[in-house]
Amino acid sequence: MAMNSGERVHLTFAHQEPDRLPVFEIGFNSPAASEILGRDAWVGIGGHVLSEIRNHMILEGRDREFRFKQVQDYIELYRKLDLDIMPVSVYPVDPALPKEIEDGTWLFEDKKTGTWSICKYERSSDMYVEVDSELATEGIPAFERMVKRLENEHFSLDDYDFLQIDHAVKEVGNELCILGGADVHFAGASWIVTFLIAMKEWPDLVERYLDAQLERTLLIAEEQLRRGVTLMWGGADLCYSQGPYFSPQLFRRFYVPRLKQITDLCHRYSVPFFKHTDGNIRLIEEDLLVGCGIDGLHPLEPEAGMDLAYYKENYGRKVTLLGNVSCAQTLVYGTPEEIEEETRRAIEIAAPGGGYVLSSSNTIHSQLPAKNYLIMREAARKYGNYPIAVRKSSEVLI
């Protein structure tokens, strides 16, 4: 008997076998989504959407219109692809006003606090990233000012817009698993060096920063849970291809107890929480996968040495694994046969017994052809029905 997505995902996170393998993506950038929908789709984190559409709509006082159109596009896209988990976002009611200081380069400045950042859009790659800020330029003094401001600011849930959650729960809450977000904060792209220096040299300041941010995060997370999200994730990257950005000792001090507070909150609402991080987690895997109480790990980046078979064997009864089909290589450059084979291999390794959700090894980014994603999706339907058929070793392609 066919299950709905909520039932399918719930059984998977309980390490039981549903009717078929759940399939999802944490995000689609606009190019592939637009090709699939046959029109311009306002989804993803690519610069076309954030720089050329959202920033202009913020300046026109139409940001809420953008948020509503975005969730509508996600609903149409995830329904059309018959995916099981759909992400939604919480936005500030009054976003920072952007100023285009040159083509594709935007300044965000708060006159009251003196804080500023600069984001740049690269059209060739559709990337939109923070390239400078007062935290990068001034270093620790600016970081200390930000911490003091966070500690003294009045915080209210009224400052945040939960429109996307409310609309998604109303429209597809009985069809799709609605994915909210909460995480322990890390640094912005431009000031990661400042943050890493502070972790070593000014640890008490980092503790204060993380605690001030966590207080807000927990309140926003609980509001999402109250409003009906049925799965939560944390999206801050903690690792690069060779290992964590910082030592296991610092991870244990700064991140384990705070991640545990987030997972404990989700569990009080009987909602699983999975952690996303690119890169190689081997040096912190026990603390992350066991000590934090998380329920899942995403995206298991193969180029960083994240071996799906190893994590299934060693942690597959503790955490649900999500991802591992390469969006850096196979889904971009692979032949249809190579894409199908890599998808089939991931399913055979991780899906038996439940505890696996198929997805790419990050997102469907702007350089990834829609036709290649659709091959992966079709392979999931072909090989992802339970019980999973596993080839004998003699049948595996070499």
Residue 396 clears pLDDT 90, i.e. is over it: no
Residue 228 clears pLDDT 80, i.e. is over it: yes
pLDDT tens track for 39-56 = 999 999 999 999 999 999
Residue 355 clears pLDDT 60, i.e. is over it: yes
Residue 393 clears pLDDT 70, i.e. is over it: no
Q: Is residue 397 part of a domain?
A: no
Residue 395 clears pLDDT 70, i.e. is over it: no
Which segment of 23-37, 105-119, 239-253, 305-319 scores lowest on mean pLDDT? 105-119
Q: Is residue 285 part of a domain?
A: yes
Q: What mean pLDDT, rounded, does the chain reach?
A: 96
Strands 296-298 and 320-322, by their bridges, are parallel
pLDDT at position 398: 38
- Residue 246 CA to residue 244 CA, distance in Å, equals 5
Pair of tokens at residue 238? 């903690």
Q: Is residue 398 part of a domain?
A: no
DSSP 83: -
Residue 343 clears pLDDT 60, i.e. is over it: yes
Q: Are 372 and 18 in contact (CB under 8 A)?
A: no
Calculate mean pLDDT across residues 82-103. Answer: 97
Q: Is residue 396 part of a domain?
A: no
Residue 392 clears pLDDT 80, i.e. is over it: no
- Residue 224 CA to residue 233 CA, distance in Å, equals 12
pLDDT at position 38: 98
The string of DSSP codes covering 113-163 is T--EEEEEEETTTTEEEEEEEHHHHH-HHHHHHHHHHHHHS---GGGEE-H
pLDDT band at 397 (very low <50, low <70, confident <90, very high): very low
Bridge partners of 28? Answer: 364
pLDDT at position 111: 80
What does the chain come to in residues? Answer: 398
Residue 211 clears pLDDT 50, i.e. is over it: yes
Query: Which CA distances in Å does 29 have to 40, 62, 260, 335?
Result: 11, 21, 31, 21
The string of DSSP codes covering 327-391 is TTTHHHH--HHHHHHHHHHHHHHH-TTS-EEB-BSS-B-TTS-HHHHHHHHHHHHHH-BSSPP--
What is the maximal distance between C-alpha atoms in the chain? 68
Residue 171 belongs to domain with CATH number: 3.20.20.210
Q: Is residue 395 part of a domain?
A: no
Pair of tokens at residue 87? 């992400």
Which domain covers residue 293, as residue numbers? Answer: 5-390
Q: Is residue 143 part of a domain?
A: yes
Q: Is residue 255 part of a domain?
A: yes
Q: Is residue 378 part of a domain?
A: yes
Q: Name the domain count of the chain.
A: 1
Q: For residues 96, 102, 103 and 106, what is the CA-based torsion angle, rounded to 10 degrees?
A: -20
For helices 336-350 and 370-383, give the axis angle rounded to 10 degrees.
Answer: 40
- Cβ-count burial of 372 within 10 angstroms (0-12 exposed, 13-18 middle, 19+ buried)? buried
Query: Closest Cα partner for 260 from 181, 317, 184, 318?
Result: 184
Pair of tokens at residue 44? 């993803």
